[in-house]
Structure 1
Amino acid sequence: MVPVTRGALGQIWKLSGDGRSWAVKELLFGCDAAQVAREAALRDSAADLGIASPRLHPARHGVHVTRVDSPGGGSWVKLYDWIDGAEADPSDPAVLDWFGRTMALLHRAGAGAVEGPGAWYERCPDDAAWEDVLKKVRDAGLAWADELDRFVATSVPRLGRWVAPSAPGGLVTSHRDLRPQNVLVGRDGPVLLDWDNAGPVSAEREFARAVHVWSGGNDVDVASVRRLARAYREAGGRAVLTGPESFSMLFATALNYVHVQAETAVNPEVTTEQRDFGARQAVICMREVPGLGAVSRLVTALGT
């Protein structure tokens, strides 16, 4: 078993033997068994629609997560089929067509969700929370403290004003992390990975976040935006953008991610590796935070 890559929630290992390979996801921050069950259910439903994804193997007694004990305390792990492939190229027209259709299928299949999205997608840290983490970063003497201070003074209020709870209608059960990094293109075509965040979400807001991250982020590629949206519509997707308010989920998740990673960077109860990862991620994401100018260009592009 060899380490492959590290994500925000876990370490991916490649387990090989007897001519076969599997992906083992080690959960670094504990396990929510109910969330894993939602992940497995949505992944299986998507497979029935023809959406390719790695199989999440059940352990004994049918559960999809297992505790592996060790002298160091042990970990929760999940076991998936191993997928060989390259990360999706969001500039590839065929990949954009596939993704637009796939998102529409997910939204159609998951229509009618009743439970509202969690706080990660609907709210962002308040002023007191930002001041608290900023003080911790300063006290720790981290080099990016001034950059975090500027971020809190500018980007946080500018984006945070658009973050609000979703309206009751238009909720779906979906993937909630539809990024090019979560798609591998293998011999048989694209495969959708990382269903860990599956749950209820506003279709409009997931669509808005997706068109932003799949069309170049703040460097908007209008042709990509329109191609993705056209494939989504032709496959029955109904979400539309109305303005900056459609991007509430994009702004909320971006701000929450910076806050969580900054907190991790100064948390004495996690490993040095986890603190270093948090620091790197906080700085990267502060510099790549979504801009209102890009959002305006997306709305204009799809409105015309």
Structure 2
Amino acid sequence: MNLTQAAERLGLGQLLDAPLLLKDDEQSPVWKAVTDSGSWVVKIAQPWGDFWMPMAAQAGALEAAAWESGVAMPEPQSTTLGEAGLWRPIGDGAYARAVRFVEGAHPTAPTSEPLAAWAGGLVADLARCAIPADPTVHGDYRSNSQEEWEEWFAQAERLEVLSAEHVRILKLSLEQAEAMIEDQQDLWRSKVVMHRDIRHQNILTGSGGPVLLDFDAAGAQDPWWELVFTAFHLAGFGRRLELPERRIVQACLSGYVAAGGAVGAVDESAFTGMFAGRVGAATWQLWMACGHRGGSREYQAGFAQTLRESVNAMAMMLKAMPTWATWLKA
């Protein structure tokens, strides 16, 4: 994937310095490029299948609307939407996009209460963009047949990607996600496009205040479910089984309410989007770890480790959701 070609196709101008690789991802590298038009973060991707294009289009629609409404975020190189949203074809089937480089550092989780409150307000701001989610876009959790799952589980055990205990937990998680979705069909069908990945890794704090990064996972989500995901991740919950801090959850909730965010059910159903999203992500990780989407052995091994961490986190959620739900009652 040629960064010089990407910069030219995006209209960024001439490269002035050697580019800096910010994220060494085999499938989707991220670069810092200094050109005669400024400093840019450039992403390059090789889409897999027809599903990628409409997903990218939805994500781009939210990012463009968020920028135009004044959300604190890096400036996109362009807000003109194409068939792949803000991504542009650069040849050989690859796509690229760019945002202004912002100097800063990622906060650690659990974050501070003021930052959590800021993020809660941000969720309300993104909800007001009111980008309707396309129900035909497969960028969300979706069911797979029992036969498919049994085949994938057998393959995962054979390749030593998952242990028998991990498979047992993942099966329980699938059943729980399906039950939660079935119980929340009205909300599930009426979702708007949200960021879906507001974590400390996607926030940058600098002299100008915090900014939100990386809209590439944006897709269908209920705003209240987005708030719950955001609050618990900023409070410290992640794949490594950190215990979230209640005060951070409630600071995020306060910021959301103060910004006019609509509060939903304050019971276990509030975790529907968060839990189903985690199961959906684990499905992708399973495919990657088992080689369904290519990549080197090292790349697949990285996904295998991430998958096992995800399954452990799902086990923790299954136990903790009844207690966590009480934290949402202001």
Give your verdict on TM over 0.5: yes
What's 1:100 paired with? 120
TM-score, normalised relative to structure 2: 0.78
Instruction: Determine the C-alpha separation between the residues in 2 that align with 1:258 and 1:20.
Output: 38
Instruction: Determine the C-alpha separation between the residues in 2 that align with 1:80 and 1:91.
Output: 25
Counterpart of 1:191 (choices 203, 206, 211) is 211
Counterpart of 1:265 (choices 285, 289, 292) is 289
What's 1:171 paired with? 191
* Unpaired stretches in structure 1, ≥5 consecutive residues: none
1:103–1:143: structure 2 CA closer, same or farther, 3 Å change rule? closer
Instruction: Determine the C-alpha separation between the residues in 2 that align with 1:196 and 1:154.
Output: 29
Q: Conserved in 2, the CA contact under 8 Å of 1:208 and 1:241?
A: no
Q: Conserved in 2, the CA contact under 8 Å of 1:88 and 1:180?
A: yes
What's 2:76 paired with? 56
Q: Conserved in 2, the CA contact under 8 Å of 1:170 and 1:203?
A: no
* Unpaired stretches in structure 2, ≥5 consecutive residues: 1-18
Instruction: Determine the C-alpha separation between the residues in 1 that align with 2:220 and 2:175.
Output: 26
TM-score, normalised relative to structure 1: 0.83
Is 1:296 the counterpart of 2:315? The answer is: no
Instruction: Determine the C-alpha separation between the residues in 2 that align with 1:92 and 1:16.
Output: 32
1:50–1:21: structure 2 CA closer, same or farther, 3 Å change rule? same
What's 1:285 paired with? 310
Counterpart of 2:97 (choices 57, 75, 78) is 78
Q: Conserved in 2, the CA contact under 8 Å of 1:241 and 1:299?
A: no
Larger mean Cα displacement after TM superposition, 233-242 or 263-272: 263-272
Larger mean Cα displacement after TM superposition, 182-191 or 271-280: 271-280
Shift of 1:254: 0.9
Larger mean Cα displacement after TM superposition, 9-18 or 52-61: 52-61
1:45–1:149: structure 2 CA closer, same or farther, 3 Å change rule? closer
Q: Conserved in 1, the CA contact under 8 Å of 2:116 and 2:231?
A: no
Shift of 1:50: 2.5
What's 1:23 paired with? 41
Aligned residues: 299
Shift of 1:60: 10
Cα shift readout 1:67-108 (whole Å, capped 9, x = no counterpart): 334xxx552221221122111344212211211111111123
1:278–1:107: structure 2 CA closer, same or farther, 3 Å change rule? same
Give the secondary-structure state (helix, strand or coil) at the position aligned to 2:327: helix
Alignment of 1:191-270 (within 5 A): 191-217=211-237, 219-267=243-291, 270=294
Is 1:68 the counterpart of 2:87? The answer is: no
Shift of 1:149: 2.3
Counterpart of 1:44 (choices 61, 64, 81) is 64
Is 1:5 the counterpart of 2:23? The answer is: yes
What's 1:137 paired with? 156
What's 2:12 paired with? none
**CA-based RMSD:** 3.1
Give the secondary-structure state (helix, strand or coil) at the position aligned to 1:24: strand
Q: Conserved in 2, the CA contact under 8 Å of 1:125 and 1:256?
A: no
Aligned identity (percent) is 22
